[in-house]
Structure 1
Amino acid sequence: MPPADDDIETRLATVERGVTELREQLAITSSDAAAARMLAAGADHDVSEVRAELRAHTQALNALRETQLEQGRKIDEQGREMRQGFATLATGMAQITALLTTNSGGSENLSD
């Protein structure tokens, strides 16, 4: 028994509706894919900017580290020079004290 014309028409209408829905979904999917590509490109650009800023910050921190190391070496050197100066002063003061002690002992004898 051959299929009825109404049955074929109903099936054809159902298939046509399905094709129309698929076309609509394809348009939406294509639009979503384009938006996703655009967002991905924007995110890639943002990541590149963040990486560039991070490199700049790292360079600044490395330069600051070098400056601090150099200043630390200078402070160490100045500390050594200061200790040497104090040692020289201590030696000189000891000699002056010895001379004063010797001279004051001798001047007391002269005044007697």
Structure 2
Amino acid sequence: MPEPDLEARLATLEARVSELAEQVQQAQVAREDAAAARHLAAANDRDVSEIRTELRDFRQATTSSFNDMREDLADLRSETHTGFTEMRGKFDQTAAGQAQIVELLDALIRQQDQGEQ
């Protein structure tokens, strides 16, 4: 005949084995979750690294294009200044030529006035 205490101990042992099996299953799920979290974290690190690289490349390209634009504007300003200087010289020549024409016309008018008198 089995000991009466044996049945209770066996039931307790079975309950404990069941609890341990459940804990093992929960630990396995936790390990899988941790592995998935590590995988996601690694992927996020790669994504952040790629974004940093893209931002650095974008910043360099933007800086380069601004520098090029600044050089183009400086060249344009220089060309514009040179053009205005040339035009000013031509306007001065034209004004001098017109002044000479006025002097000649005045001289002709004086000669005609003297001839009529």
TM bucket (normalised to shorter chain) is 0.7 to 0.9
Deviation of 1:109 after TM superposition, in Å, equals 4.1
Output one character per residue of 1:15-49: Cα deviation in whole Å (capped at 9) or x when no partner: 11110001101111111111111111111112111
Match of 1:27 in 2: 28
Q: Does 1:42 align with 2:63?
A: no
% identity of equivalent residues: 25
TM-score calculated relative to the size of structure 2: 0.83
Of 62-71 and 6-15, the range deviating more from structure 2? 6-15
What residue ranges of structure 2 are gaps of 5+ in the alignment? none
Match of 1:106 in 2: 107
TM-score calculated relative to the size of structure 1: 0.86
| Alpha-carbon distance between aligned partners in 2 of 1:6 and 1:103, rounded to the nearest angstrom | 142
Q: Does 1:96 align with 2:76?
A: no
**Larger C-alpha radius of gyration, 1 or 2?**
2
| Alpha-carbon distance between aligned partners in 2 of 1:35 and 1:91, rounded to the nearest angstrom | 82
Deviation of 1:74 after TM superposition, in Å, equals 1.1
What residue ranges of structure 1 are gaps of 5+ in the alignment? none
Q: What is the count of residue pairs matched by the alignment?
A: 110
Deviation of 1:93 after TM superposition, in Å, equals 1.3
